[in-house]
A and B are shown apart, each in its own frame.
Chain A
């Protein structure tokens, strides 16, 4: 079947049921001569902090090293929502329209058939966990660009007040008793386990503690969205679970997974998070913390800078602090760039990728607002973002990446689909986990 036909066919098939499909074509080309090692390199990225930062790196490259190499990089920003679906369409059409694709740890296995392994790029400066997350069948398919991990973002002023006011502790212990069945003292956020998280969620909620300074203790990112699986994975890993057994079998129908679902459903059903959490993701979590209605939340590292900015978050800037995720496990994924297998200008594209792998390029990326996956750059650039050293430390100490297999992307999606009802108490954890486990088993192949 001809590739162009496939793309048009899919477009129409989806149009029949109202999807706005993306289209690609085989037309175009990089503009450079194949194998010449020069010319135009076309790259896809998505808009937002990563795209903004990368555009400055590209400008610097084109004006400097690129000029010497006779390479010009042209970057296309697709919409944040549709970048991967549009790339998937181009890949399915075996298009040579782009030389460098934007990929991530969670879809590199799926896209590997359309990518060339990176054999000549030096990846030694990156976080090992970020590089490992981009390997499929022992081959590195993408170069880390931006790293994402999770933190517990919490209202330090409120937690410190509780810790420093011992007269409140008996009341806290009583709330903890009702929430987790155990009287316990409040602890500093860095020492929380998932029971502390639950007890604190109750304490800072009006429903359990009418004198709480916030309406809700926390906000759960419980929308049926694959990215929310990543957040829940922290609870799973932090409770001693994981997606797979050591021999690679699906491992979601376990007591650890049930406990992890229980953390969410207990908090949701008791109203220690907004009922709207069932449709919450990154922006809603930012909004809840920014509005000061919520005391703490698990959030991506990228969220902190905005919340700590007095102009963007006047109510809470300076009051929020970072702590490791309870359970001391943080999901790490890298946003990355990869070489299109069907590119006609691979040599030039590889030269640019080699440039991106340098500390200089990633320093420029950090200065432009990105979070590079290089620990030394994060340490050096603490003046730009005070969270950088903590990101480096957290990834180094607590980071994990989920197994990379061709269906990793689908697995995230299927787990969200199977469990999001249970996260908000719409379904019992047992059957939901069985469904998720069966889906994962099938996807593992």
Chain B
């Protein structure tokens, strides 16, 4: 057997566990999910009936889905932008030595170690107007704010998402800064570049692939937001904070309309998939981020 044949064979042998895993747990379920969207399957009518594109049409013309899509997009853009900027700032801050750095670093990572649903329950207790610590502290300084009131609930959800997920963006960008070539910075220093100039002209451009990676991962995750919002608001008042995930969950498990829920899931996937190659190209291709 030639070396080339052996090499090709070993690639398949070594890659086969992953391929099998992907086929069973990704490809087949995605196929089934898409297929379910073409059937009128509900708890009231467990006998499936092929309905073609009807479920997709129903979802796309449902004002509830469109409102959920709009809210989700705005929410995702807002939190992604804030978390990326804050994460980058924190990464710059931590990328230097200072007393208590390890403790600070550990504290920063705590929110992403807590299950989102549990975090939702914690926030619900902490922010409760009658027994919560936060409103009590705010009242102590003369601020009688109702955090769950209709006009404050959206900013509150954004804030909570930022608190929870900024550490994730930070972690990615901190890892990027750790592998940053120090000789480039030293050269800039020798040339007399100040901190801001170094940041603007050297650090940010060279970190662009990392920043895009953080942006991409956070954006995708933010579009899938479910746990904390569901625990705190269940999508209300009205449909004001209904995300697409909540819409799909309610369609499937409150309305029992599995076909519609699968169609909605498929639509979300189809809308998101074209963005993947664009981001991958920016992340993976040297110079593409310029």
Rounded to whole angstroms, the CA-CA distance of A283 and B232 in the bound complex is 12
State A410–B117 Cα separation when bound (angstroms). Answer: 24
Q: How far does the Cβ of B58 sit from chain A's closest Cβ, in whole Å?
A: 12
- Do residues A417 and B238 form an inter-chain contact, with CB atoms below 8 A? yes
Q: How many Å lie between the Cα of A225 and that of B150 in the bound state? A: 15
Instruction: Please indicate which of the listed interface residues B32, B64, B124, B146 has the most CB atoms of chain A within 10 Å of its own CB.
Output: B32
B34-51 near A? 1/0 per residue, CB < 8 Å? 011101010111101000
Is A275 positioned at the interface, with any CB of B under 8 Å from its CB?
Answer: yes
A6 touches B226 (CB 8 A): no
The reply to whether A6 and B148 contact each other, CB–CB distance below 8 Å, is no
Residues of the B chain whose Cβ atoms lie less than 8 Å from the Cβ of A422: 238
- Stretch of B15-23, B104-112, B181-189, B239-247 at the chain-chain interface: B239-247
Answer yes or no: A18 CB below 8 A from chain B CBs. yes
The residues of B that contact A91 with a CB separation of less than 8 Å are: 43, 46
Does any Cβ of A come within 8 Å of B215's Cβ? no
At the interface with chain B, which of A44-52, A252-260, A286-294, A330-338? A286-294
Whether B258 lies near A6 (C-beta < 8 A) is yes
Give the Cβ gap from A105 to chain B, nearest Cβ, in Å. 15
A18 touches B226 (CB 8 A): yes
| CB–CB A8/B146 < 8 A | no
Binds A, one of B3-11, B165-173, B265-273, B274-282: B265-273
Are B233 and A223 neighbours in the complex by a CB distance under 8 Å? Answer: yes
Q: Taking the complex as formed, is A177 at the interface, i.e. its CB lies under 8 A from any CB of chain B?
A: no
When the two chains form their complex, are residues B130 and A274 in contact, meaning their CB atoms are under 8 A apart?
Answer: yes
Which chain B positions have C-beta within 8 A of A12?
26, 29-30, 32-33
Q: Are A275 and B248 in contact (CB under 8 A)?
A: no
**Chain B residues in 8 Å Cβ range of A432:** 238
For A14, the chain B residues whose CB sits under 8 A away are: 245, 248-249, 252, 261, 265
Which one, B149, B237, B248, B261, contacts A224 given CB within 8 A?
B237
Please, how many angstroms separate the alpha-carbon atoms of A11 and B250 in the complex? 14
Identify A279's interface contact among B233, B256, B268, CB under 8 A.
B233
Establish whether residues A17 and B223, one from each chain, have CB atoms under 8 Å apart when the complex forms: yes
Contact yes or no, A288 B238, CB < 8 A: no
Instruction: Tell me the smallest distance from the CB of A94 to a CB of chain B, in Å.
Output: 7
Q: Which residues of the other chain, A, contact B124 by a CB distance below 8 angstroms?
A: 283
Task: Check B236 for interface membership: any CB of A closer than 8 A.
Answer: yes
A354–B13 Cα distance when bound, in Å, is: 58
**In the complex, A6→B253 CA distance in Å?**
14
Contact of A406 with B253 in the complex, beta carbons under 8 Å: no
Whole-angstrom distance between the alpha carbons of A94 and B130 in the complex? 45
* Smallest beta-carbon distance B146→chain A, Å: 3
Contact call B46/A113, Cβ cutoff below 8 A: yes
Q: Are B128 and A276 in contact (CB under 8 A)?
A: yes
Is the Cβ of A10 less than 8 Å from the Cβ of B233?
no
Contact between B244 and A13, CB atoms less than 8 A apart: no
Q: B45 — which chain A residues lie within 8 A by C-beta?
A: 113
Q: Are A284 and B43 in contact (CB under 8 A)?
A: no
| B227 is an interface residue with CB less than 8 A from chain A | yes
B235 at the interface (CB under 8 A from A): yes
Q: Are B29 and A11 in contact (CB under 8 A)?
A: yes
Answer whether A278 and B130 are a contact pair too, CB < 8 Å, given A9-B33, A16-B269.
no
Closest to A222 in B: B237
Q: Which residues on B sit within 8 Å (CB–CB) of A111?
A: 43
Report the minimal beta-carbon distance from A445 to chain B, rounded to whole angstroms.
Answer: 9
Is A383 at the interface (CB under 8 A from chain B)?
A: no
Residues in B whose Cβ lies below 8 Å from that of A293: 130
Specify which chain A residues have a CB less than 8 angstroms from the CB of B250 in the assembled complex: 413
A76 within 8 A of B: no
Chain A CB within 8 A of B158 CB: no
Q: Establish whether residues B36 and A9, one from each chain, have CB atoms under 8 Å apart when the complex forms.
A: yes
Cβ of A134 under 8 Å from chain B: no
CA distance A110 to B255 in the complex (A): 9
Q: Is A18 a contact partner of B153 (Cβ separation < 8 A)? A: no
- Cβ-neighbour of A10 out of B147, B255, B261 (below 8 A): B261
- Name A16's contact: one of B239, B240, B268 (CB within 8 Å): B268
Residue of B nearest to A22 (CB): B253
Chain B residue at minimal CB-CB distance from A425? B150
User: Do B236 and A17 have beta carbons less than 8 Å apart?
Assistant: no
Provide the A110-124 mask, 1 if CB < 8 A to any CB of B, else 0: 110110000000000
Let me know if A413 and B255 touch, CB within 8 A: yes
The answer on a CB contact under 8 Å between B237 and A421 is: yes
Q: Is A423 positioned at the interface, with any CB of B under 8 Å from its CB? A: yes
Pair B258/A10 contact, Cβ less than 8 Å = yes
Assembly CA distance A426 to B283 (angstroms):
43
Q: Which residue on chain A has the smallest CB distance to residue B231?
A: A81
A287-B131, A288-B130 are known contacts. Are A275 and B149 too (CB-CB below 8 A)? yes
Known: A224-B235, A427-B238. 16 other contacts (CB 8 A): A9-B32, A10-B252, A13-B29, A13-B261, A16-B224, A19-B248, A85-B252, A91-B46, A92-B41, A110-B43, A284-B130, A288-B129, A291-B131, A407-B44, A417-B236, A420-B236
Closest 9 A/B residue pairs (Cβ): A224-B236, A18-B224, A421-B238, A9-B32, A12-B29, A275-B146, A13-B265, A85-B253, A13-B33
Mind listing 17 A-B residue pairs with CB under 8 Å?
A10-B33, A12-B30, A13-B37, A14-B249, A16-B268, A18-B226, A19-B248, A85-B252, A275-B146, A278-B149, A278-B236, A287-B131, A406-B44, A410-B256, A416-B236, A417-B64, A426-B150
